[in-house]
Structure 1
Protein backbone atom coordinates (compact mmCIF):
# COMPACT_ATOMS: atom_id res chain seq x y z
CA UNK A 1 0.00 0.00 0.00
CA UNK A 2 1.26 3.47 -0.81
CA UNK A 3 0.55 6.79 0.81
CA UNK A 4 1.20 10.42 -0.10
CA UNK A 5 1.49 12.84 2.81
CA UNK A 6 2.08 16.57 3.03
CA UNK A 7 3.12 18.20 6.29
CA UNK A 8 2.03 15.02 8.12
CA UNK A 9 -1.47 14.97 6.59
CA UNK A 10 -2.52 11.99 4.45
CA UNK A 11 -3.58 13.22 1.00
CA UNK A 12 -3.96 9.87 -0.80
CA UNK A 13 -3.77 6.16 0.04
CA UNK A 14 -3.72 3.33 -2.50
CA UNK A 15 -5.60 0.08 -2.21
CA UNK A 16 -3.53 -2.82 -0.86
CA UNK A 17 -1.06 -4.06 -3.48
CA UNK A 18 1.30 -6.99 -3.98
CA UNK A 19 4.26 -7.61 -6.27
CA UNK A 20 1.83 -9.02 -8.82
CA UNK A 21 -0.48 -5.96 -8.73
CA UNK A 22 -0.83 -3.63 -11.67
CA UNK A 23 0.46 -0.07 -11.36
CA UNK A 24 -1.81 2.09 -9.22
CA UNK A 25 -1.95 5.75 -10.25
CA UNK A 26 -2.53 8.27 -7.51
CA UNK A 27 -2.67 12.00 -6.97
CA UNK A 28 -2.91 14.37 -4.05
CA UNK A 29 -3.14 18.12 -3.65
CA UNK A 30 0.02 19.54 -2.11
CA UNK A 31 -1.01 23.19 -2.35
CA UNK A 32 0.73 25.20 0.36
CA UNK A 33 2.64 22.20 1.73
CA UNK A 34 6.18 22.60 3.01
CA UNK A 35 7.01 18.86 3.05
CA UNK A 36 5.94 16.04 0.76
CA UNK A 37 6.46 12.42 1.77
CA UNK A 38 5.69 9.34 -0.35
CA UNK A 39 5.43 6.26 1.87
CA UNK A 40 5.24 2.49 1.44
CA UNK A 41 2.97 0.99 4.12
CA UNK A 42 3.54 -2.52 5.51
CA UNK A 43 0.32 -4.55 5.19
CA UNK A 44 1.26 -8.08 6.26
CA UNK A 45 3.59 -7.55 9.24
CA UNK A 46 6.57 -9.07 7.41
CA UNK A 47 9.14 -6.37 6.75
CA UNK A 48 11.60 -8.74 5.08
CA UNK A 49 10.66 -7.99 1.47
CA UNK A 50 8.69 -4.73 1.60
CA UNK A 51 9.78 -2.18 -0.97
CA UNK A 52 8.45 0.70 -3.01
CA UNK A 53 9.07 1.69 -6.58
CA UNK A 54 8.43 5.34 -7.46
CA UNK A 55 9.97 5.56 -10.97
CA UNK A 56 7.31 7.79 -12.54
CA UNK A 57 6.72 10.12 -9.60
CA UNK A 58 6.13 13.70 -10.65
CA UNK A 59 5.35 16.89 -8.81
CA UNK A 60 3.71 19.78 -10.59
CA UNK A 61 4.10 23.27 -9.17
CA UNK A 62 1.95 26.18 -10.16
Structure 2
Protein backbone atom coordinates (compact mmCIF):
# COMPACT_ATOMS: atom_id res chain seq x y z
CA UNK A 1 0.00 0.00 0.00
CA UNK A 2 1.24 3.48 -0.90
CA UNK A 3 -0.19 6.82 0.16
CA UNK A 4 0.38 10.43 -0.71
CA UNK A 5 -0.85 13.72 0.65
CA UNK A 6 -2.30 16.22 -1.82
CA UNK A 7 -0.45 19.36 -0.83
CA UNK A 8 -3.13 21.55 -2.41
CA UNK A 9 -5.85 20.06 -0.18
CA UNK A 10 -3.98 19.58 3.11
CA UNK A 11 -4.65 22.30 5.68
CA UNK A 12 -2.42 20.94 8.42
CA UNK A 13 -5.08 19.65 10.82
CA UNK A 14 -2.76 16.82 11.87
CA UNK A 15 -5.33 14.03 12.15
CA UNK A 16 -3.08 11.75 10.11
CA UNK A 17 -0.20 12.30 12.52
CA UNK A 18 -2.45 11.44 15.45
CA UNK A 19 -3.65 8.23 13.79
CA UNK A 20 -0.45 7.06 12.10
CA UNK A 21 2.65 9.00 13.19
CA UNK A 22 4.95 6.31 11.77
CA UNK A 23 3.90 7.24 8.23
CA UNK A 24 2.81 10.90 8.36
CA UNK A 25 4.69 13.93 9.58
CA UNK A 26 4.46 17.69 9.26
CA UNK A 27 6.69 19.41 6.77
CA UNK A 28 8.37 22.67 7.77
CA UNK A 29 5.56 24.55 6.00
CA UNK A 30 2.98 23.08 8.42
CA UNK A 31 1.38 20.57 6.06
CA UNK A 32 1.42 16.78 6.23
CA UNK A 33 3.54 14.49 4.09
CA UNK A 34 3.65 10.71 3.88
CA UNK A 35 7.08 9.31 4.60
CA UNK A 36 7.67 6.64 3.57
CA UNK A 37 5.08 6.54 0.80
CA UNK A 38 5.17 2.73 1.05
CA UNK A 39 3.19 1.92 4.20
CA UNK A 40 4.64 -0.97 6.22
CA UNK A 41 2.25 -3.95 6.32
CA UNK A 42 1.55 -3.62 10.03
CA UNK A 43 0.49 0.00 9.67
CA UNK A 44 -1.96 -0.33 6.79
CA UNK A 45 -4.99 -0.20 9.10
CA UNK A 46 -3.77 2.99 10.77
CA UNK A 47 -3.01 4.56 7.38
CA UNK A 48 -6.53 3.70 6.17
CA UNK A 49 -7.93 5.31 9.34
CA UNK A 50 -5.92 8.44 8.51
CA UNK A 51 -7.34 8.44 4.97
CA UNK A 52 -10.90 8.04 6.26
CA UNK A 53 -10.54 10.74 8.93
CA UNK A 54 -8.73 13.45 6.98
CA UNK A 55 -11.07 16.49 7.16
CA UNK A 56 -9.84 17.75 3.78
CA UNK A 57 -9.72 14.31 2.11
CA UNK A 58 -6.13 15.12 1.20
CA UNK A 59 -4.69 11.63 1.69
CA UNK A 60 -5.03 9.18 -1.16
CA UNK A 61 -3.97 5.59 -1.66
CA UNK A 62 -2.00 5.20 -4.88
CA UNK A 63 -1.26 2.13 -7.00
Under a length normalisation based on structure 2, what TM-score does the superposition of the two structures give?
Answer: 0.34
Under a length normalisation based on structure 1, what TM-score does the superposition of the two structures give?
Answer: 0.35
Structure (1 or 2) with the greater helix fraction: 2
Higher relative contact order (CA 8 A, sep 6+): 2
